[in-house]
Amino acid sequence: MFYSAMLIAGNGTLITNSASAIVESRMLPSDLTSVATSIFSVAQSGSRVFTGFLTEVAATHYKPSKDDGDLAWLGWHSRPLFLSMGALIAAVAHIILAIPGLGSAGFIVGVTLSGLAYGTIWPLMVLVVGDVFGKTNLGAIYLWFDGSTVALGTLLISKMLSQYIYEQHRVHPDSSGAIADAESSTCFGEECFQMTHIITAILCLTAFVTPFELARRTHKHCTD
């Protein structure tokens, strides 16, 4: 759960911290930054509300049967699999954002999906921590996951990865194809963030896989 939540969190903070720079580098309308930030906020807020609701509905209406055998853990009742859903949405978001020649509409679609993915981790962390560790010290364990996943995701993706790639294209415009503005130190061109989006998408695809093992172990733990 830690790995998936960290990457999904990094997916979101990359957008919130770099929306203005992404819009500027792609030479999109400047007012798109405020629009994108608002849409991201609405999307992640809605996702927070409905993710927890959907997991409860799934757990209530879907019960694994004896016929499921060893695959009883693989179903809509399994909360960790909703982490896979969030990671997949985040991957799709950054695949869209990496598309060359992306216009304003495509940018908004990518930002919206990123916000939806980002919102999934908050109710899921509480619920999965409760399923795995029980109610004893639930608050302390959840807060550790909450703080550390966001901190590491932000540091690794939103800060280190995006800044490194941005600086590489700004400092070496001739080799990268991006155009550097010497006065404003701003990078212009799709290359300024394209590789960041690609790497983030790949990482989120790996985060799509890992919750399956957590789901298997959680099911065994909860049924013992």
Higher pLDDT, residue 24 or 65 = 24
Residue 177 confidence (pLDDT): 52
Does the pLDDT of residue 70 top 80, yes or no? no
Whole-number Å distance between alpha carbons of 84 and 43: 18
What pLDDT was estimated at residue 184? 54
Res. 223 pLDDT band, cuts 50 70 90: very low
131-162 residue pLDDT tens: 778 788 888 888 888 899 999 999 999 999 99
Written as one string, the DSSP assignment of 74-100 is SSTT-THHHHHHHHHHHHHHHHHHTST
Tokens describing residue 116: 């939806």
pLDDT (tens digit per residue) in 104-115? 999 999 999 999
pTM of whole model > 0.75? yes
The yes-or-no verdict on residue 69 having pLDDT over 90 is: no
Domain 2-223, second-level architecture:
Up-down Bundle (1.20)
Answer whether residue 59 shows pLDDT above 80.
no
Q: How far is CA 183 from CA 44, 74, 124, 163, 168, in A?
A: 36, 56, 45, 18, 17
In the chain, % of residues over pLDDT 90: 53
Mean pLDDT of 41-60: 86
pLDDT at residue 76, rounded to an integer: 47
The ranges assigned to domains in the chain are 2-223
What does 19-55 look like in DSSP terms, one character per residue? HHHHHHHTT--TTHHHHHHHHHHHHHHHHHHHHHHHH
Q: Average pLDDT of 53-79? A: 60
Question: Residue 196: which H helix or E strand, with range?
Answer: helix 191-223
Residues 174-211 pLDDT 10s? 445 555 545 556 788 889 999 999 999 999 999 999 88
Mean of the pLDDT values across residues 18-43?
Answer: 94
> How do residues 73-102 score in pLDDT, each as one tens digit?
445 457 788 899 999 999 999 999 999 999
Residue type, 212: F
pLDDT given for residue 204 in this prediction: 96
Instruction: Report whether pLDDT(172) > 80.
Output: no
Ramachandran quadrant class, 69 (left: phi over 0; alpha: psi -120 to 50; beta: rest): left
